[in-house]
Copies of this chain bind each other. A is one copy, B any other.
Amino acid sequence: MERKALERLLRQLRDGRQAVGEVLEKLRSMPYEDMGFAKVDTHRALRRNFPEVIYCPGKTNEQIVKLVQRLREGNGVILATRATKANFKAVKSASDGKGISYDDKARMIVVGRLPRRRKGRVLVVTAGTSDIPVAEEAAITAEAMGCNVQRLYDVGVAGVHRLLGNSKKLRDASVLVVVAGMEGALPSVVSGLVDTPVIAVPTSVGYGASFSGLAALLAMMNSCSPGIAVVNIDNGFGAGYMAAMIARPVPK
């Protein structure tokens, strides 16, 4: 409940248009919608500046369809992450299908049109080609949140000249998302070259002692270069979200 609504409610009470009991009850009622299997946080767009995002694993097609329908009301773009092609088809066929697309690299369903007018420059960087799906999840998320996004892929530290040759691109961004598996060294090197924050994303790319991304995660947590913060392994969505919050801040 927004502050204005609360003020109005209290004024109604003062003016005798509401009973104490009713107000008590309304003060307690919160802005979400109970759908049985889920409590949709319809208030989130107001509170956090972007609507709730649907994380698909463990949800049935029916549940995803219902959540899309409910969230679509009054919101510009709806994202569903880690979606399968089957999820996408279900969502598409449950509507007129307009404005619903699927990115199979990023495994995301985008409902609605990405914003045309964008602000802030996010650069998404990967160490290798296998890191691209995670990077695309980040990129599309940041685009959906209204940022300009550029990509710089396959510039891992084994050939550092590939990175240095793109230093202008690196320095032009207002925030960087750096995606790397294996030894996870890229964020440290990138961060040392720029004056902007770096969101580091460890990936599960690798084998053996990479322990499904743990090696990269630990490396990124221990970076000797300040100006880096880390999200979960393979969490492209979280990185893109964080980057967009930084690149396109809510005016205060």
Residues in A lying within 8 Å of B, measured CB to CB: 6-7, 10-11, 13-14, 16, 20, 23-24, 27-32, 37-39, 41, 43-44, 47-49, 53, 57-59, 63, 121, 127-130, 132, 153-162, 164-165, 167-168, 172-174, 182-185, 188-189, 191-197, 199-200, 202, 204-235, 237-239, 241-242, 245-246, 249-250, 252
Contact = CB atoms under 8 A, between A and B. Distances in A.
Copies of the chain in the assembly: 8
Contacts of A20: 7, 10-11, 14
A144 to B, nearest CB: 12
Contact of A221 (B155, B193, B230): B230
B217 A222 contact: no
A32 B162 contact: yes
B206 A226 contact: no
B232 A231 contact: no
Given A43-B161, A184-B183, A246-B246, A222 B226 contact: no
Contact of A195 (B27, B49, B238): B49
B222 A192 contact: no
A67 B172 CA distance: 30
Nearest to A11: B20
Nearest to A60: B129
B37 A132 contact: yes
Given A157-B185, A188-B157, A242-B197, A214 B218 contact: yes
Given A38-B153, A215-B219, 5 more contacts: A28-B168, A121-B252, A172-B252, A199-B229, A208-B217
A121 to B, nearest CB: 7
A128 B229 CA distance: 21
Given A10-B13, A154-B37, A182 B222 contact: yes
A129 B205 contact: no
A157 B48 contact: no
A221 B217 contact: yes
Contacts of A229: 199-200, 229-231, 238-239, 242
Contacts of A205: 58
A221 B231 contact: yes
Given A127-B224, A222-B215, A230-B221, A185 B189 contact: yes
